[in-house]
Amino acid sequence: MLDILIIGSGPAGLSAAIYAKRANLSVMVVEKTAYGIGQIAESSEIDNYLGFPNIRGFALGKKFREHAICLGVEFKEGYAEHFEFSEGIWKTVFKNGDSINAKAIIYAAGAFHRHLNILGEKEFAGKGVSYCATCDGAFYQGKVTAVVGGGNTALDYALYLSSISSKVYIIHRRKEFRGSIKTVQELQKKENVEFILEAKILSISGKDMVQELCLEDGRKIKVSGVFIAAGMIPMTEPVKNLVMLDPYGYIIAEETGETSAKGFFAAGDVRTKALRQVITAASDGANAAVSAERYLYWRSKNMTV
Ligand code: NAP
């Protein structure tokens, strides 16, 4: 039986694996697809991970993975479908029927950005289409950008981009905003911000990089970058009846990664947190591994933490 089974091979899962392995615990990382490195694989360039300026997302993910392999971390490909807890043991059951027992679980399955599923979105991902202004905004210095969505993420992206881009369009499908009215008012004061409301994007086009957005009403908008902020979907389906979730489906957990279930820790984008970035996911993995290690220590003494 393993000490810790880690679900997810993104920065949170791999960081947890490194910390657990270095604490001499037996650990295995479960990945949905072979050689998965999580959402960073989608980032063409990452420029805000300390010590690695201007690195491709895939290259950074590969470094994380090589580090884990170097320490002897084992991987298993599979989709962890559900979890059972009995007599202090967590049984993880996979979609193909396999199961693995572990004394503790670190769940770092991540979240994914809701896509618009429009023409050009996939084709130009990483070539002008981005889902994260904090990650990619700096590449649009002095250029025209657009933000899609009317939630707090979209508004925060627009505010952030307004000090980088020459012009920012906020394209939202309704007149009312889901996000904070205070931020809307702040944006209304900005000379380089233009609201395009009750509008939907039909397609994104360009040559090598994004050049134009075509709206459903026929309007065409020239932009160099489009930031899609249509909400995120946490990968919490397998745990929804197991641990407490917030109203948006994220696992309620603080920095320690402790959840409402004993011996079940959450790390990375899947948990409630203010900033979802590679660096905060890696930090979460470290915290969850140390919490799991403490839990295992007290468990071995037959005492609760
Ligand atoms: P969100 O609140 O769910 O907003 C998503 C936005 O995308 C909505 O305006 C929605 O339009 C739009 N949208 C969804 N699907 C679309 C589609 N297919 N085409 C066009 N537009 C589409 O998501 P979020 O902004 O990521 O925020 C998630 C949670 O985190 C919220 O509770 C938010 O308040 C919180 N958050 C807080 C802060 C902060 O406090 N500073 C910052 C970021 C996030 P409709 O409105 O028409 O549905």
What does the alpha-carbon distance between residue 220 and residue 127 come to, in Å, rounded to a whole number?
19
Ligand 1: does its nearest atom lie under 6 Å from the Cβ of 153? yes
| Pairing, β 2-7 against β 99-107 | parallel
pLDDT, residue 36, reads 76
Ligand 1: does its nearest atom lie under 6 Å from the Cβ of 232? yes
Summarised one tens digit per residue, pLDDT across range 218-235 is 999 999 999 999 999 999
Average pLDDT (276-295) is 97
pLDDT, residue 305, reads 59
Least Cα distance to 48 among 66, 62, 60 occurs for 60
* Residue 283: partners with Cβ closer than 8 Å, 6 or more residues away: 15
**Which listed residue (3, 70, 132, 284) is catalytic?**
132
Q: Are 269 and 12 in contact (CB under 8 A)?
A: yes
Buried b (16+ CB within 10 A) or exposed e, 175-214: eebebeeebbeebeeeeebebbeebebbbbebeeebeebb
* Active site (annotated) includes residue 214: no
**Which listed residue (47, 70, 135, 214) is catalytic?**
135
Please state, as a whole number, how many other Cβ atoms lie within 10 Å of the Cβ of residue 50: 8
Summarised one tens digit per residue, pLDDT across range 185-216 is 999 999 999 999 999 999 999 999 999 999 99
- Residue with the bigger pLDDT between 302 and 239: it is 239
Q: In this structure, which amino acid lies at residue 184?
A: V
Given a cut of 80, whether residue 303 has pLDDT beyond it is no
- Ligand 1 centroid, distance to 150 Cα (angstroms): 6
Given a cut of 80, whether residue 39 has pLDDT beyond it is no
Least Cα distance to 161 among 177, 138, 178 occurs for 138
Ligand 1: does its nearest atom lie under 6 Å from the Cβ of 211? no
* Active site (annotated) includes residue 284: no
What percentage of the chain carries pLDDT values higher than 70? 98
Ligand 1: does its nearest atom lie under 6 Å from the Cβ of 197? no
CA distances from 53 to 15, 33, 59, 90, 134 (A): 19, 27, 12, 40, 14
The residue whose CA has the least distance to atom 45 of ligand 1 is 150
Q: Are 207 and 233 in contact (CB under 8 A)?
A: no
| Pairing, β 264-266 against β 99-107 | parallel
Summarised one tens digit per residue, pLDDT across range 17-31 is 999 999 999 999 999
The helix or strand, by DSSP H or E, that contains position 287, with its residue range, turns out to be helix 278-300
- DSSP conformation class of 51: T
Ligand 1: does its nearest atom lie under 6 Å from the Cβ of 121? no
Please state, as a whole number, how many other Cβ atoms lie within 10 Å of the Cβ of residue 42: 17
Q: Is the pTM of this model over 0.85?
A: no
pLDDT tier, 127 (very low <50, low <70, confident <90, very high otherwise): very high
The residue whose CA has the least distance to atom 16 of ligand 1 is 230
